[in-house]
Structure 1
Amino acid sequence: MKKLIVGLLASFLIASGLVAFTGSPSTAACPYTGCIATNSNISGPGAVRQNTAPTFKISVTPRAGNARVRGSVKITVARKGGGFKNTRTTSYTGSRKSVKGPRLRKTGRYTVTMVFTPARNSVYRASKDSYSLKVVKRRR
């Protein structure tokens, strides 16, 4: 009997417009996974000599707030036109980090791509960045 009365009261209030119901999600701060966007940044030399291994500097920062972003970073070095591709994965704990790349034996242009994957159940989103690298002939 109590449930019947409460149900009738609720339907009366909704019908008369005193209580509103909307189907849109709330706009409160994001407590869910994958809400806060991140900025990934990879930098390194613009050109290196043949048979050398470049060193890349990586960083990931949140677009909102100043908390430490944690997860893993996958760095891929690929030669434009094919013939070479190398991938390395490293953990990321929130501060700028140096990563040594592979030894590049062939001359030409390479694309260096960084993909950040956040830690499990993190509020941060994945992001990526890339830049172009030139390998020039070694002097003798």
Structure 2
Amino acid sequence: MKKILLAVLATALVAGGAASAPTAVAAEPYPGTVMTSTDAGGPRKMQAGKRPKSSVYVKTAGNGRAVGTIRVRYQHKASGTSRFKSVAYKGKRVTFFGPKLAKVGPWQIRAIFQPKSGSVWKTSRDSYSLKVIKKKKKKKR
């Protein structure tokens, strides 16, 4: 009789949740789990000494809007010279002017999306190439 009473009591406790371990709340975010993809673009050719106009957009899985920082690196392919630019990202396409590029030749522009710490978004990146050509000489009249 005692065994049956204990079995019924144990079953009632487990079914009622009193003897179960606390569970994680389902609404808690899981940092770095939602995929993102960065789309960077700008001019493919420009004159030396000018500032390229770049734009960056971060696409997300689902309908959320990613928030974080975009860090753009302008790197000359032959010499390895680099210039950097950082801008805040709040879910919409960001358009900005980069640094003046004086060296002639091909440049690699790489945009990296870094989400806010503790957010559900993953880091993503994209790149494109830009060719800097010599300045046009002014004609004398």
Measured in 1, the distance between the counterparts of 2:69 and 2:108 equals 20
Partner of 2:36: 38
Q: Which runs of 5+ in 1 are unaligned?
A: 11-27
State the Cα distance separating 1:32 from its structure 2 match: 0.6
Q: Residue type matched to 1:43 in 2?
A: G
CA contact under 8 A between 1:30 and 1:36: conserved in structure 2?
no
Q: Which runs of 5+ in 2 are unaligned?
A: 1-5, 12-25
| 1:5-35 superposed Cα distances (whole Å, 9 cap, x missing partner) | 67xx89xxxxxxxxxxxxxxxxx99931111
Cα 1:77/1:129, change in 2 over 3 Å: same
Structure 1 position 122 matched with structure 2 position 119 = yes
Partner of 2:54: 56
Cα 1:136/1:120, change in 2 over 3 Å: same
Partner of 1:15: none
TM-score for both structures, normalised by structure 1? 0.76
State the Cα distance separating 1:83 from its structure 2 match: 4.9
TM-score for both structures, normalised by structure 2? 0.76
Structure 1 position 87 matched with structure 2 position 84 = yes
Cα 1:83/1:38, change in 2 over 3 Å: closer
> For 2:68, which of 52, 68, 71 is the aligned residue?
71
Superposition RMSD in Å: 2.4
CA contact under 8 A between 1:72 and 1:116: conserved in structure 2?
yes
Partner of 1:100: 97
2:79 counterpart SS class: coil
Measured in 1, the distance between the counterparts of 2:100 and 2:29 equals 43
| 1:47-90 superposed Cα distances (whole Å, 9 cap, x missing partner) | 0011100110111010x211111000100000002252101111
Task: State which structure, 1 or 2, has the greater radius of gyration over its C-alpha atoms.
Answer: 2
| 1:82-101 superposed Cα distances (whole Å, 9 cap, x missing partner) | 25210111110000011211
Task: Give the count of matched residue pairs.
Answer: 118
